[in-house]
Structure 1
C-alpha cells in the first residue's frame, strides 16, 4: 500500500547556510524510489508517496542521502497524511480567526510531555500560549514568531534536549495536509 508523506527538513535555505535547491531535493527523493514527489516553498518541505518503510526509517534514509549528496547534515522528520491531518484538525486555537503568522506547530522527533516544559512560566508570556500533543506543540504568538518571547523560551536547549524539532506556520501546516491528501 502506498502512503503519502511530508518530509520536514530543519534549517535548510535559511540565512544563506545549508543551501538545498528544491529541484535537487525532488530528484533525490525520486532517486530513493519515491513517487509523486513535490516540494513546497524553499524552506524544506517535500511531499512524496512511498510503499515501504515507516516515518523514522524514511527520515533516516533521506537525512543520510542528503549528507552523502550535499555534504552536510540535515535533521529530517517524516509524517504521514493521517498524522498531519490529525494535527490540523485538533488545533486548540481558533485557526480560522487568526493570521497564519500568529499560529505555528512545532513537530518533534519523539513524544514530549508537560514535564519538559514545567519551568516555563506560562502566565508570564501571556497573551502568547502553547499546547502540547504527543509529538507536536501548537504556539499562538499574536505578534508573530520573530517577536515571540515564548518561542525563544520553548527553543532553549533544556526544553528541546534530545529532540529534533522543526516549526511551521499555520499556512504550511494546512498546505501539507492538502498536498499529502492526493
Structure 2
C-alpha cells in the first residue's frame, strides 16, 4: 500500500535540518519500498504492507528520531485517502492567484473537527475553510491574510497538531504518489 508522510517543522530557518537524500535512505533502510521524497519540506512517499496507520506513523517517528537525533512529528495519509480528499476539495481552493491556498494535514491524535473547533469560525470576508477527512483546506486573500483567524494559529497548541503544505505542493505530492 502507498503512504505519504508529511513531516512537520523540518528545514525551517536553518533548524531541524533533514537532507532529503538522508531522509530517503532512512525510510529505505527501515524496509519501506519505492521511497520518493519531494522538496525540502519533508514529503515522503513510500510503499509498505497495509497496516494500522497510527502504528505506522509511530514507526516512522521512531526511525526518524533514531536517524536525525531529534523528534519529528508527522501526518501520515494513505494514497487513497489523499486522492479522495483532493477530489472533495472545494472549487475555490487553489484557484485564485491573488490568494494563499494551504492544506493543513492533521497529526494524530488530533482530528480535523477538533482543530476547526479550536480555531473557531472563519472570518468569511477574509478566508474560507473546509475539512475533509484528515485534511483542512484553507484559502485567504494575500492582501488581507494577516486579518484571517487561521493565520493566527502559528505558535498555538493547535499549530503543533498540523503540518501545512500549499496547494501546489499538495497536488504534486499526490501526483507523485499516483505515478510511482
Please state which band the TM-score falls in when normalised by the shorter chain.
0.7 to 0.9
**Structure 2: gaps of 5 or more residues:** none
Normalized against structure 2, the TM-score is what? 0.85
CA distance in 2 between counterparts of 1:100 and 1:33 reads 43
Change (3 A) 1:45 1:146: farther
Q: Equivalent residue of 1:87, what SS?
A: helix
Q: Equivalent residue of 2:3, what SS?
A: strand
Which stretch shows the higher mean deviation, 139-148 or 14-23? 139-148
Offset at residue 155 of structure 1 (A):
4.4
Structure 1 residues 12-91: aligned runs within 5 Å: 12-91=10-89
Cα RMSD (Å): 2.7
**Structure 1: gaps of 5 or more residues:** none
CA distance in 1 between counterparts of 2:138 and 2:132 reads 12
**Counterpart for residue 2 of structure 2:** 4
CA distance in 2 between counterparts of 1:37 and 1:145 reads 39
Change (3 A) 1:144 1:29: farther
Change (3 A) 1:22 1:114: closer
Change (3 A) 1:116 1:172: closer
Offset at residue 106 of structure 1 (A):
0.3
Normalized against structure 1, the TM-score is what? 0.84
Change (3 A) 1:105 1:37: same
Change (3 A) 1:156 1:24: closer
Is the 2:119–2:149 Cα contact (8 Å) retained in structure 1? no
Offset at residue 130 of structure 1 (A):
1.2
